[in-house]
Structure formats: C-alpha cells, structure tokens
A and B are shown apart, each in its own frame.
Chain A
C-alpha cells in the first residue's frame, strides 16, 4: 500500500535560517505529492503540490521537487520567519477511477525563534 514517511521532529530554528523537511514515499503507481501546513488550532491548508516527476511546487517562499528516482518530496525554504511556526504534513494522492484519497505522513512541528 501507499505510505509517506517524514523526518522525526520537532524542529526548532532561528529566524532567517534555512529549512529542510524530509519526506519520502512509497506508492504503487504515479502519485501526486502535497505539502500541507497546519497553524495552531486550525485545519490544514494546502501549501504546494506537484503532480509528476521533476515538477517543482512553490508557494510563500517554500519549494519542493518531485524526485521519482529517490521517491522524495523534501520541503525547503531559504529564510524562515516566526510566522512559519506550524505543523507540516507531506501527503500523496493516487486516483483510482473516480476515487482519490490522500495518504499523510505523521507531520512535523516547526518552531521558529525570533
């Protein structure tokens, strides 16, 4: 079956530091890949996505590249801000006919210090 593995957390960084959050996946076909972000007490928001190999998703300074050869979709940001403090989830979606389900990683908490 499909699975998503995220690096262990939590992660604590100083403001303006470089961020990398690792994500690898296992899938039987050709999934789409997503990063979602969850701020405290809220639902999930789509951060970025990529639908095929070598695609790069980007949003709000965050980037992730779909690497089929390493089955990875690592999230990066060059300079984090305090407002980036949140929980980040990597997910994949494989459509089978009319059905589409997301498989999530366990999430990782990012805290950014001023």
Chain B
C-alpha cells in the first residue's frame, strides 16, 4: 500500500530534551511538508522540502529542525528551544501538483 507513515503516534518530551518525529512516504513524491496543529488555529507550516538535500523554513520554524537526506524521509526534530511544543504534528507530501497528502499525525506532549 502506498502512503505516508508517521511515528510514533504519541511522543512525550521532558524539559530540555530534543525529540525527533519520523515521516516516511512511498508515494515517490518530491515535496514534503511539516505542519503544526493547535486547537482553533488550523495548520501552520513549519518546514518544507521540494527536493532531496534542500528545505525551506515555513511560518513557524523557530525551535525546529529538519533534514532531507532521502526522498522518502523527512524527519522533524523539536529542539529544547521550542518552549511550547505540545501540539499535533502533521507531515504531508505532494507530487508537485499542489494537492498534498497527509500522514496520520504525531501528538507531542510535554512531561
């Protein structure tokens, strides 16, 4: 089955800790995206990548980092600099024709 997988489903972060959220796709899409979802605020773009080894900041990149070493993978690291990390994180991919396809999401909680 083709699709986008995100892991883990739930993730707990301690104070001062960096955590990494996984996003993998087997759709052969060039573009990948990370969004943050907070209640009542819709989705906000964190980072996006149009091609391997290249990525751009979105609207709320501070406190986050990404890498794109493989076409299939676009992991997101939530660093200790992100002071309010509790949110639902969504990864998406696109074949470059505007429509984006989303993974099931990872819920990050702070201990």
Q: Interface on A for B, CB 8 Å cutoff?
A: 32, 34, 36, 41-46, 49, 51, 89, 93, 95, 98-102, 104-107
- Cross-chain contact A106 with B99 (CB below 8 angstroms): no
Q: Which chain A residues lie closer than 8 Å to B105 at the CB level?
A: 41-43
Closest to A44 in B: B102
Closest to A4 in B: B42
- Cross-chain contact B102 with A106 (CB below 8 angstroms): no
Q: Is B63 on the interface with A (CB-CB < 8 A)?
A: no
User: B90 touches which one: A41, A43, A49, A105 (CB < 8 A)?
Assistant: A43
User: B42 touches which one: A34, A45, A89, A93 (CB < 8 A)?
Assistant: A89
Count A-B pairs with CB separation below 8 Å.
54
- Cross-chain contact A42 with B99 (CB below 8 angstroms): no
Closest to A103 in B: B45
Q: Which chain A residues lie closer than 8 Å to B42 at the CB level?
A: 89, 104-107
- Cross-chain contact A46 with B99 (CB below 8 angstroms): yes
- Cross-chain contact B104 with A43 (CB below 8 angstroms): yes
- Cross-chain contact A101 with B102 (CB below 8 angstroms): no
Question: Given known contacts A43-B90, A89-B42, A107-B42, is B100 in contact with A102 (CB within 8 Å)?
Answer: yes
Question: Given known contacts A98-B50, A106-B42, A107-B42, is B102 in contact with A45 (CB within 8 Å)?
Answer: yes
- Cross-chain contact A101 with B50 (CB below 8 angstroms): no
Q: Is B20 on the interface with A (CB-CB < 8 A)?
A: no
- Cross-chain contact B98 with A100 (CB below 8 angstroms): yes
Instruction: Give the CA-CA distance A104 to B104 in the complex, in Å.
Output: 18
- Cross-chain contact B98 with A98 (CB below 8 angstroms): no
Q: Which chain B residues lie closer than 8 Å to A43 at the CB level?
A: 4, 6, 90, 102-105
Q: Is B48 on the interface with A (CB-CB < 8 A)?
A: yes
User: A101 touches which one: B48, B97, B99, B101 (CB < 8 A)?
Assistant: B48
Closest to B107 in A: A41
Instruction: Give the CA-CA distance A80 to B98 in the complex, in Å.
Output: 28
Closest 8 CB pairs between A and B? A43-B102, A106-B42, A93-B98, A44-B102, A104-B42, A104-B43, A43-B104, A43-B105
Would you give the 0/1 interface string for B62-100, flagging 1 where the beta carbon is closer than 8 Å to chain A?
A: 000000000000000000000000000010101011111
